[in-house]
């Protein structure tokens, strides 16, 4: 079993590698390369049958935590295409750039801040030693045009973050839903960035999804709220069952701070390729609403009725996580290899690949497997599956030896398997097998739904 209990030295000790994760993802239908039959489109990925289930569950879990379980946060779904002035006001037209260098010889392209400084100063390509071009600023926004005529008046951008869709609707939400500061607006949606270097599978892509929440607070209370949201986001990952020894905080130094930020921390996860940003928690000050006031000429001040109708521009605390990046984190965190005992139906000494998803996130919650296809067992199993489908995502499989079928479900991360045998016919009992421990319990089929529901609620990862 992979030992991840001690990473005081900060080194990755899990069983996953990016190669193993991406090949499992393809084999089992989590993630495919975009337009693969044409040779693939870099920076874009497609989510298969298990991948979309996992992505939806992660999104629903976040949404529930950030909106349904709170009284002071509501959701919106803003359009990807926004008025182009939005991106002037936000600072993206001017500042959302990466420093870019090209090799004149091998044509490789690099982010100047990601190659060794000695290569940059000597203008030598880190790949082939060829001469590098000077550093150019490269804007990460995708430009497109609206309407039939392509000129400067028809330019639009694909949004590079979901946050701006929230800011431009902040007044609408206050008016339509009578929200009072402090309050938040949450949104999940696509974002697009023309990333210079896309690598590490779905970690950094040109098309991705974000889960963002913008919390509007009274100036002067922002530091307190910033700390509060840092605490809450940390607790969220704990509740999700993530291996907490693989998470850490990273505070942005002065040269890392974005143009809008007063203070910023990232939650980093220890991926197989090292510690990388998973989510940002930012104190954006009053920058955004001030800029939108200036560019739109609309008064975006909040009138505080609980404080003598005092007017102010709220400060914003942002929590910004990548949905697709979280999916990669969940895959890496769940990935494990171990050796099942022969009693689990496999050959002695065989290694299994298992995804130890939290049962609330697993794409398939329960698989129903008849021991034999004959003697009416398949029909009983189908009936049990139909019943369980009312409450859970339930699969059915009768192909191959039972051990093989367990292995297939383990690899898909299915936390529970129900086996139907001759006793089911006689006494109505089934075995409920647990993915992580491979232990089995014999229970009546009528108790299945309640037992599974309880197991999901009580789940604590032990291995
Ligand atoms: P980086 O510095 O790595 O380019 P960033 O600091 O600009 O990223 P943010 O703008 O803070 O990232 O975005 C918030 C979150 O959105 C990130 O923590 C990450 O989870 C996700 N994200 C950002 N860019 C991408 C991308 N190209 N592909 C996938 N997810 C991304």
Tell me, yes or no, if the two domains 18-79+162-331 and 348-458 fold the same way: no
**Regarding beta strands 142-145 and 155-158, do their DSSP bridges make them parallel or antiparallel, or are they unpaired?**
antiparallel
Rg, Å, the chain Cα set: 26
pLDDT tens, per residue, the chain with 463 residues: 443 444 667 789 889 999 999 999 999 999 999 999 999 999 999 999 999 999 999 999 999 999 999 999 999 999 999 999 999 999 999 999 999 999 999 999 899 988 999 999 999 999 999 999 999 999 999 999 998 887 777 899 999 999 999 999 999 999 999 999 999 999 999 999 999 887 899 999 999 999 999 999 999 999 999 999 999 999 999 999 999 999 999 999 988 888 778 899 999 999 999 999 999 999 999 999 999 999 999 999 999 999 999 999 999 999 999 999 999 999 999 999 999 888 887 766 789 999 999 999 999 999 999 999 999 999 999 999 999 999 999 999 999 999 999 999 999 999 999 999 999 999 999 999 999 999 999 999 999 999 999 999 999 988 7
Tell which one of 97, 166, 204, 253 to mutate to probe ligand 1, the residue whose CB is within 8 A of the most ligand atoms: 204
Q: From the CB of 193, is ligand 1 less than 6 Å away? A: yes
Between the alpha carbon of residue 312 and those of residues 3, 72, 106, 107, 301, the distances in Å are 52, 19, 55, 51, 5
Q: From the CB of 321, is ligand 1 less than 6 Å away? A: yes
Q: Report domain extents, the chain.
A: 18-79+162-331, 98-139, 348-458
CATH 2.20.28 fits 98-139, yes or no: yes
Note the pTM of the prediction, 2 decimals: 0.94
* Ligand 1 midpoint to CA 82 (Å): 20
Crossing angle for the helix pair 323-334 and 18-27, to the nearest 10 degrees:
100
- Residue pointed to by tokens 């697709």: 324
CATH class for the domain made up of 18-79+162-331: alpha beta
Nearest to 194 by CA among 159, 220, 239, 151: 159
In the DSSP assignment, the letter for residue 68 is: I
CATH class for the domain made up of 348-458: alpha beta
> Can you list the positions of beta strands (E) in 2-96?
31-33, 45-47, 73-75
Counting atoms of ligand 1 from 1, which one is nearest the CA of 210? 16
| Cβ within 8 Å of residue 462, ≥6 positions away | 436, 437
Classify the C-alpha dihedral 422-427-428-432 as positive or negative. Answer: negative
Count other Cβ atoms within 10 Å, centred on residue 307: 11
């Amino acid at each position: 079993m992979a030992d991840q209990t001690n990473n005081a030295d900060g080194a990755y000790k899990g069983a996953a590698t990016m190669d193993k994760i991406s090949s499992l993802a393809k084999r089992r239908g989590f993630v495919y390369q975009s337009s693969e039959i044409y040779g693939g489109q870099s920076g874009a990925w497609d989510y298969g049958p298990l991948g979309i289930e996992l992505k939806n569950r992660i999104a629903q879990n976040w949404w529930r935590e950030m909106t349904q379980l709170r009284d002071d946060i509501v959701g919106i779904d803003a359009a990807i295409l926004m008025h182009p002035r939005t991106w002037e006001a936000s600072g993206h037209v001017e500042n959302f750039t990466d420093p870019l260098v090209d090799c004149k010889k091998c044509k490789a392209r690099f982010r100047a801040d990601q190659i060794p400084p000695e290569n940059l100063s000597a203008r030598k390509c880190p790949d082939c030693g060829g001469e590098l071009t000077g550093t150019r600023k490269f804007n990460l926004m995708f430009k497109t045009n609206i309407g039939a005529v392509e000129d400067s008046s028809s330019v639009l951008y694909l949004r590079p973050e979901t946050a701006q869709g929230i800011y431009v609707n902040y007044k609408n939400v206050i008016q339509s839903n009578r929200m009072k500061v402090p309050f938040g607006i949450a949104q999940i949606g696509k974002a697009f960035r023309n990333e210079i270097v896309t690598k590490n599978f779905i970690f950094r892509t040109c098309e991705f999804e974000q889960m963002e929440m913008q919390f509007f607070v009274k100036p002067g209370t922002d530091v307190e709220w910033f700390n509060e949201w840092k605490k809450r986001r940390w607790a969220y990952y704990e509740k999700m069952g993530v291996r907490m020894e693989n998470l850490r905080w990273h505070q942005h130094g002065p040269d890392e701070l974005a143009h809008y930020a007063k203070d910023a921390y990232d939650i980093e996860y220890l991926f197989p390729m090292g510690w990388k940003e998973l989510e940002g928690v930012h104190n954006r000050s009053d920058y955004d609403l001030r800029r939108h006031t200036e560019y739109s000429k609309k008064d975006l001040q909040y009138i505080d009725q609980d404080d003598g109708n005092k007017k102010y521009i709220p400060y914003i605390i942002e929590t910004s996580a990548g949905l697709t990046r979280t999916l990669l984190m969940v895959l890496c965190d769940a990935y494990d290899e171990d050796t099942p005992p022969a009693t689990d139906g496999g050959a002695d000494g065989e290694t299994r690949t298992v995804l130890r998803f939290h049962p609330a996130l697993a794409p398939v919650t329960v698989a129903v497997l008849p021991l034999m296809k004959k003697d009416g067992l398949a029909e009983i199993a189908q009936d049990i599956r139909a019943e369980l489908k009312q409450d859970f995502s339930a699969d059915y499989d009768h192909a191959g030896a039972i051990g093989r079928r367990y292995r297939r479900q383990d690899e898909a991360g299915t936390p529970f398997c129900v086996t139907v045998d001759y006793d089911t016919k006689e006494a109505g009992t089934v075995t409920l097998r647990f993915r992580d421990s491979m232990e089995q319990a014999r229970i009546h089929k009528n108790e299945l739904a309640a037992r599974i529901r309880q197991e999901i609620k009580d789940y604590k990862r032990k291995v």
